[in-house]
Amino acid sequence: MIGNRLGSYEITAKLGEGGMGEVYRARDSKLGREVAIKVLPAHLAADADALARFEREAKAVATLSHPNILAIFDFGREGDTAFAVTELLDGETLGLRLASGALPARKALEIASQVALGLAAAHERGIVHRDLKPDNLFLTRDGQVKILDFGLARQAEEQASKSQLFAAPTRAPGTAAGTVLGTVGYMSPEQVRGEPADHRSDIFSLGVVLYEMLTGHRAFEHGSAVETMSAILKEEPPELEAIAEKQSPSLVRLLQHCLEKRPQERFQSARDLAFDLAGAGRAAFATRPDRRRRGGPRRDRPGMADRRGRRARRIARDGGGRSAADFPAADEGAGWRGEAHDLP
């Protein structure tokens, strides 16, 4: 494939492969830019109905044009080869980042907040991801988060239609009542039961991902897929108390709200979740041990009190309009506040 052309795209390198296709780096000769191309497997390219669904959903995702969703540029066919063209990213997946352990709370909340904003944009267009997991979240070198692989995505009004867009390995050939779709460990309870999954399923999966970022462990992980799915249905994630001790009870409440077993008891929109995540992120930053609270008491640097006292006496002596009483006493030795009357 390397060195070949697909339409106006020249394949230059292979980036990876999976059960649902191979990904290549390519050069767009028309626009002179580097892109990524996903070549669909032969069985999908040969299925006219599946190909039509793929193209329809690719167009739906392409219309989102959101900074936290992988941009789709083009879709085409060259002979028997069907392919999708996306933006080329520089960085690593969240899955790779988590291989080295948990993330600081502030970073985890920042990532989750960006993911929630991307999901909100998709949900507002009736598009549900249904396979959110660390391997489908990409962290660029400039700090942006991109949602990849709307592999099990569907438009909400197509309850009986199965998506083919960038599908995941756990995908079944068709969608019907009782069919399990998603990646075990990140599925929502309704996905485990084979029920239709709406936007609140993505909120549950994002809660699972956030839990893993904070702890370095999966929320639901057992010896087999069956045991893991049973835990999703019946158990609460471990280590919530440890998160509360290290972070804050409010963060645990946010996680629990995402991970409610019943969809109607979770956050009802990803945008509301994004708002709460942003607030939690600001709180995590403000309470960092190495950060002084703004406006709070601070200790004087050596000699600061003496300098303030001399300055106050000089202003009072020279008739500067304020007396020494307007300033903190030089010998108090206590903290002082950065209020309007403080010296420059």
Active site residues: 131
Please count the CA atoms within 13 angstroms of the CA of 299 that sit on its side-chain side.
2
Q: What six digits make up the tokens of 230? A: 């049973």
Residue 34 to residue 26: CA distance in whole angstroms? 6
In angstroms, the CA 209 to CA 111 distance is 10
Beta-strand relationship, 81-87 and 33-39: antiparallel
Asked whether 13 and 28 are in contact (CB, 8 A), the reply is no
Residue 107 · residue 157 · CB < 8 Å: no
Residue 228 structure tokens: 């893991």
Q: Distance between CA atoms of 131 and 182, rounded to whole angstroms?
A: 5
Is 85 within 8 Å of 35 (Cβ atoms)?
A: yes
Q: Reduced to 3 DSSP states, what percent helix, strand and coil does the chain have, rounded to the nearest 5?
A: 40, 15, 45
Residue 321 neighbours by CB distance under 10 Å: 8
Q: What is the DSSP string of 156-221?
A: TT-TTPPP-TT--TT--SS--TT---S-TTT--HHHHTT----HHHHHHHHHHHHHHHHHSS-SS-
Measured CA to CA, the distance from residue 268 to residue 265 in angstroms comes to 8
